[in-house]
Amino acid sequence: MNRMVSAIVTATLTLSALPAVAASDGTLGTTSTGDFNIDLTIPNLIRISSMHDQTLVYTPGAGATVTENFCVYTNALSGTYNVTATSTGDTNNGDTGVFLLDSLSGTMEYTVNYDSTALSEGVNDNRGGLGYSADNLSINCGGTEPVAVIISVAQSEIDAASPDTYTDTLTFLVSPN
């Protein structure tokens, strides 16, 4: 009995793994017609756009801040996505988990606030499973830039830094939720 059940389960699994064959061949004649099905599976897609290079604006006593706005579009039904931010300044100086501006004189930390959420360098963030809201109607967000990222350097970092130009490349990796 167990062998028969095992054979039926094996046969069922084998048959269910085979693709459905709906194509049909024509017959021999003065004309002939054949047909076949065509399938296309569209995966969840996502696009980040309208990003711009930024220069931090220093305000004595308050540090330096800049806001970057851009678009995130997805065709995912949930309309949400995860984000991971990475810093080349951090990569150049070891995996410290913080965002770093780099210069010949040294480094200084900065913070990234992504749509009102503080991010950690190299850590995937999805707002506790809720994800961030993306535009799911227009691939260019209808010409708007609804995502707001605030980059900040604390006054204490500036006070401890040597005069120089500090730079970084901040990269955002977004994926549909």
- Spans of all domains in the chain: 46-176
- Segment 20-47 shows an average pLDDT of 92
78-94 pLDDT, tens digit each: 999 999 999 988 665 55
Residues sharing a CB contact under 8 Å with residue 177, sequence separation 6 or more, in sequence order:
76, 78, 80, 81, 82, 126, 131
112-140 pLDDT, tens digit each: 999 999 998 888 888 777 889 999 999 99
Is the full-model pTM beyond 0.85? Answer: no
| Structure-model confidence comparison of residues 177 and 21, the more confident one | 177
The secondary element (H helix, E strand) that includes residue 47 is strand 46-49
Tell me what pLDDT residue 91 has.
62
44-65 pLDDT, tens digit each: 999 999 999 999 999 999 999 9
140-176 pLDDT, tens digit each: 999 999 999 999 999 999 999 999 999 999 999 999 9
Determine the number of helices (DSSP H) and then strands (DSSP E) in the chain: 3, 11
Tell me what pLDDT residue 92 has.
58
Tell me what pLDDT residue 122 has.
85
Tell me what pLDDT residue 95 has.
61
Q: Which residues pair with 53 in a beta bridge?
A: none
In this structure, is the dihedral angle defined by the CA atoms of residues 36, 75, 141 and 54, taken in order, positive or negative?
negative
For the chain, percent of residues with pLDDT exceeding 70: 84
Residue 71 CA to residue 50 CA, distance in Å, equals 6
Residue 89 CA to residue 109 CA, distance in Å, equals 9
Tell me what pLDDT residue 9 has.
37
CA dist list (Å): 28 to 25, 31, 33, 36, 155 = 10, 7, 9, 18, 85
Confidence grade of residue 20 (pLDDT, cut at 50, 70, 90): low
Residue 144 CA to residue 9 CA, distance in Å, equals 55
Would you give the distance in Å from CA 115 to the centre of its chain? 14
At 142 the three-state DSSP class reads: helix
Determine the topology of domain 46-176 in CATH.
Answer: Immunoglobulin-like (2.60.40)
List the structure tokens of 82. 């995860």
Listed residue (79, 94, 92) closest to 131, CA to CA: 79
